[in-house]
């Protein structure tokens, strides 16, 4: 059983809950438990969408600096790939994912949230990548996912200064997608995730793969990725169900099976 990270499934929605008081510091154990929860959510057929949540007070305030301070160059070189993949494991879930951000989402905490497809934050949230203040840079995917999300200039401003970004500014620059009252964060994330509990799961996975993989390629390659994924869906039961339902009953009434 995991000590600090759990996956709770209810009504088709899986909630990956971080719970390492007081600030959900992401030591190596927490990192690996996030990876394990993400893998479980990926393969569990009962999970149609995923919420990542740190609780009512804080999402995650970064890596465990005391643990990291004990590592030298050789030791960090040996584990950095695993650290990066663990913090980025939310991005590997082939289902819609949403980060529900309360309080602080800093450093590795923000890097976890950046792996989600959608981000909801309380209006008092503070987000940032303050690693520069420790004499290092983001190493859990922050320099790459942040720049792709908000653009290189805004990403450089955040990374170079290490400053905290409030929820209103985060919404303006596209770092978050929705801002709500702090006590409504989880409910808002669940409302977003609930849109997909009856959707065609294989089509959602294909759509996510096409967008994510296409962003890392040139347009011609991206279009070929789209071609392959589009054609592959004609081997699914949901494609047959969806098209037959459309012909007989019009759009939006199909009862998909996820197969």
- Write down the catalytic residue from 3, 33, 131, 178: 131
DSSP-assigned letters across all residues of 18-85: E--TTTT-B-HHHHHHHHHHHHHHHH-TT-SEEEEE--SS-SB--B-HHHHHT--HHHHHHHHHHHHH
Contacts (Cβ under 8 Å, ≥6 apart) of 235: none
Residue with tokens 């999300």: 149
Q: Look up residue 90 and give its DSSP letter.
A: G
Query: CB-based burial of residue 207 (10 Å sphere; 0-12 exposed, 13-18 middle, 19+ buried)?
Result: middle
131 is catalytic: yes
Structure tokens at 132: 């520069």
User: Which of 53, 63, 142, 52 lies closest to 97, judged by CA?
Assistant: 52
Query: CB-based burial of residue 126 (10 Å sphere; 0-12 exposed, 13-18 middle, 19+ buried)?
Result: buried
Determine contact, residues 4/64, Cβ cutoff 8 Å.
no
- Write down the catalytic residue from 82, 111, 169, 248: 111
User: Parallel, antiparallel, or unpaired: how do β-strands 104-106 and 165-166 relate?
Assistant: unpaired
**Active-site positions?**
111, 131
């Amino acid at each position: 059983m995991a000590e600090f990270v759990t996956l709770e499934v209810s009504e088709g929605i899986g909630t990956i809950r971080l719970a390492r008081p007081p600030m959900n510091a992401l030591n190596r154990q927490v990192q690996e438990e996030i990876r394990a929860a993400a893998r479980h959510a990926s393969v569990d057929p009962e999970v149609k969408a995923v919420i990542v949540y740190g609780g009512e007070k804080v999402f995650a305030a970064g890596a465990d600096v005391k643990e990291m301070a004990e590592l030298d160059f050789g030791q960090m070189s040996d584990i950095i790939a695993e650290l990066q993949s663990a913090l980025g494991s939310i991005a590997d879930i082939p289902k819609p994912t949403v980060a529900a951000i309360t309080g602080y989402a800093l450093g590795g905490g923000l890097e976890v949230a950046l792996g989600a497809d959608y981000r909801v934050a309380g209006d008092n949230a503070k987000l940032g990548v303050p690693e520069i203040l420790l004499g290092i840079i983001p190493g859990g995917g922050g320099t790459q996912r942040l720049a792709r999300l908000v653009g290189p200039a805004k990403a450089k401003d955040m990374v170079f200064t290490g400053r905290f970004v409030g929820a209103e500014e985060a919404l303006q620059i596209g770092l978050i997608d929705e801002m709500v009252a702090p006590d409504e964060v989880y409910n808002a994330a669940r409302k977003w995730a609930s849109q997909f509990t009856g959707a065609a799961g294989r089509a959602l996975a294909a759509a996510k793969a096409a967008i994510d993989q296409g962003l890392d390629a040139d347009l011609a390659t991206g279009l070929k990725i789209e071609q392959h994924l589009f054609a592959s869906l004609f081997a699914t039961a949901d494609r047959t169900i969806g098209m037959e339902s459309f012909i007989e009953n019009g759009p939006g009434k199909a009862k998909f099976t996820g197969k």
